[in-house]
């Protein structure tokens, strides 16, 4: 994705979710005037980083004039009006004090147009910025002049309404999603859609997907979270993000964040969650990308002990398999076919049987490539399950000559890509 298009898309995602307010004392009174083709109850809701929280709802009214009232001041954040499960538009409240706001909009063909805020500089500027960015998004290719214009415009907006949520949003329209640009010191960002969009964008578009680059950025994010609630949320988000990542090597980042929870640097979760994280770390921390593969010394078909570390080869494919696993058979067949291409190269296979059915194992491997090193752990004394996080089969690793792990939990397709890059 080009930098110019990235700015355009980021702006579109971030903009359509904000507005604000400021008045004396407590409570709120928000008036919404709707015209056009609309019908049904209108819901006022707060959009946070994790969910939409319903604040108030008004049933059908005859002339489209909805009054939302409450005795408690609204939490600063990104709010939205919803009708018939359809978002009408969003607005921002920047300060926890009495809010007196008035909006109007026209509904036609399922679209909301002519959105206006009355006597509220921040929301007026916000809606104007939405219109500006919609016009920009109609441009297929942005020029350098367009980008400069966006920068000047958003900087101007931020200066018009300083210390507001709109200033935070405007400051993120064209700036890259670096930690220092995310306002991690300001708890109000937790009541916007900013962080769930920008943090993944940082690791997708800017930071190379390698632990060497990812982990310092994790530290940067957490160190800038001077507000404890923001730090708590960021810690949980980063943990979930990297645990669920399908990019090889991101387990390193997940383990790094999990250890921060375990040692108390981050939010103190209940003991059950800590126990789960300790198990996750224990089954992953010894077999991460870049580490020396844990030693295995197991018996082969002829009852000879073969040590993984003593295999003399440029590359070793380490496979954990079960004879009663159809996917294992498919992967072993695919890997065997793949390695035929590298017969003249120094690639060997160390295949570990994960069960204890000796006769079934011998019968199974008798039908497979005799050049592979077929081994098993008859009493599970090696601890391979924990050393390599083997919670299912097949599980495939690739090691270099020094037995450093360069491929982790890969399949035949990914193995082909790696070997092609390294050897071809």
Delimit the domains of the chain by residue range: 21-119, 187-282, 297-422
* CATH code for the structural domain at 21-119: 2.60.40.10
Q: What is the pLDDT of residue 51?
A: 87
Q: What is the pLDDT of residue 389?
A: 96
* CATH code for the structural domain at 297-422: 3.40.30.10
d(CA 205, CA 403): 31
Q: Which two tokens stand for residue 419?
A: 């070997």
Q: Encode pLDDT of 105-134 as tens digits.
A: 999 988 999 999 999 999 999 999 988 888
Distance of CA 423 to the CA centre of its chain: 33
Q: What is the DSSP string of 357-399?
A: -HHHHHHHHTTS-TTSEEEE-TT-TT-HHHHTT-SSS-EEEEE
d(CA 245, CA 255): 12
Of 103, 106, 89, nearest in space to 35 by CA? 106
Q: Strand order in 373-376's β-sheet? A: 305-307, 297-300, 373-376, 347-353, 315-321, 395-400, 405-408
Percent helix, strand, coil in the chain, to 5, is 40, 25, 35
d(CA 44, CA 58): 8
Of 252, 146, 153, nearest in space to 209 by CA? 252
Q: What is the pLDDT of residue 409?
A: 95
User: H or E segment at 187?
Assistant: none
Q: Beta strand 65-70 with 28-36: parallel, antiparallel or unpaired?
A: antiparallel
Q: Encode pLDDT of 296-307 as tens digits.
A: 999 999 999 999
By CB atoms closer than 10 A (0-12, 13-18, 19+), residue 226 is: exposed
Q: Strand order in 86-93's β-sheet? A: 52-58, 42-47, 77-83, 86-93
Q: What is the pLDDT of residue 14?
A: 52
Q: Where are the alpha helices (DSSP H) in 171-292?
A: 194-201, 211-224, 228-243, 250-262, 271-282
137-143-146-150 Cα dihedral, nearest 10 degrees: 80
User: H or E segment at 147?
Assistant: helix 144-160
Give, in order, the Cα–Cα distances in Å from 189 to each of 98, 212, 348, 372.
20, 28, 52, 55
- Given this chain, do its domains 21-119 and 297-422 carry the same CATH topology? no
The residue assigned the tokens 């959105």 is 115
User: H or E segment at 13?
Assistant: helix 3-15
Question: For 228, what's the count of Cα atoms within 13 Å in the CB-facing half-sphere?
Answer: 5
Of 234, 422, 169, nearest in space to 317 by CA? 422
d(CA 320, CA 352): 5
pLDDT by 10s per residue, the chain, length 424: 444 444 444 544 455 543 333 334 579 999 999 999 888 899 999 999 878 999 999 987 878 999 999 999 999 999 999 999 999 999 999 998 888 999 999 999 889 999 999 999 999 999 999 888 888 777 657 777 777 888 888 888 888 889 999 999 998 887 899 999 999 999 999 999 899 999 999 999 999 999 999 999 999 999 999 999 999 999 999 999 999 999 999 999 999 999 999 999 987 668 899 999 999 999 999 999 999 999 999 999 999 999 999 999 999 999 999 999 999 999 999 999 999 988 877 999 999 999 999 999 999 999 999 999 999 999 999 999 999 999 999 999 999 999 999 999 999 999 999 999 999 7
Q: What is the pLDDT of residue 35?
A: 94
d(CA 167, CA 225): 19
């Amino acid at each position: 994705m080009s930098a110019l298009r990235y700015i355009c898309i980021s702006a579109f995602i971030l903009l359509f979710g904000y507005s604000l307010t400021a008045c004396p004392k407590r409570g709120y009174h928000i008036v919404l005037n709707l015209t056009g083709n609309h019908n049904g109850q209108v819901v006022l809701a707060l959009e946070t980083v994790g969910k939409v929280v319903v604040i108030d709802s008004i049933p059908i009214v005859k002339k489209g004039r909805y009054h939302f009232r409450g005795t408690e001041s609204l939490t600063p954040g990104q709010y939205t009006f919803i009708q018939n499960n359809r978002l009408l538009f969003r607005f921002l409240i920047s300060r926890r004090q009495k809010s007196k706001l008035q909006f109007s909009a026209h509904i036609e063909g399922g679209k909301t147009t002519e959105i206006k805020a009355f006597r509220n500089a921040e929301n007026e500027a916000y809606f104007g910025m939405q219109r500006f960015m919609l016009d920009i998004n109609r441009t297929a290719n942005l020029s350098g002049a367009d980008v400069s214009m966006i920068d000047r415009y958003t900087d101007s907006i931020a200066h018009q309404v300083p210390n507001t949520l709109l200033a935070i949003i405007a400051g993120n329209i064209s700036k890259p999603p670096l930690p220092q640009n995310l306002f991690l010191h300001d708890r109000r960002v937790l009541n916007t859609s900013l962080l769930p969009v920008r943090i993944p964008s940082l690791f997708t578009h800017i930071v190379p997907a390698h632990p060497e680059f990812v982990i310092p950025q994790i530290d940067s994010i957490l160190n800038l979270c001077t507000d404890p609630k923001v730090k708590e949320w960021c810690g949980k988000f980063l943990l979930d993000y990297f645990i669920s990542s399908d990019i090889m090597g991101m387990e390193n980042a997940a383990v790094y964040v999990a250890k921060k929870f375990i040692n108390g640097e981050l939010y103190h979760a209940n003991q059950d969650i800590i126990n789960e994280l300790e198990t996750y770390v224990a089954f992953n921390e010894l077999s991460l990308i870049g580490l020396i593969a844990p030693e295995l010394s197991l018996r082969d078909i002829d009852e000879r002990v073969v040590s993984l570390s003593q295999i003399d080869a440029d590359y070793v494919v380490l496979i954990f398999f079960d004879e009663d696993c159809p996917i294992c058979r498919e992967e072993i067949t695919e890997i065997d076919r793949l390695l035929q291409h590298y017969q003249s190269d120094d690639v060997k296979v160390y295949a570990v049987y994960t069960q204890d059915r000796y006769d079934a194992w011998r019968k199974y491997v008798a039908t497979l490539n005799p050049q592979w090193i077929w081994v098993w752990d008859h009493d599970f004394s090696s601890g391979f399950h924990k050393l390599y996080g083997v919670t299912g089969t097949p599980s495939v690793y690739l090691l270099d000559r020094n037995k450093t792990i360069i491929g982790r939990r890969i399949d035949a397709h990914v193995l082909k890509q790696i070997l092609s890059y390294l050897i071809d």
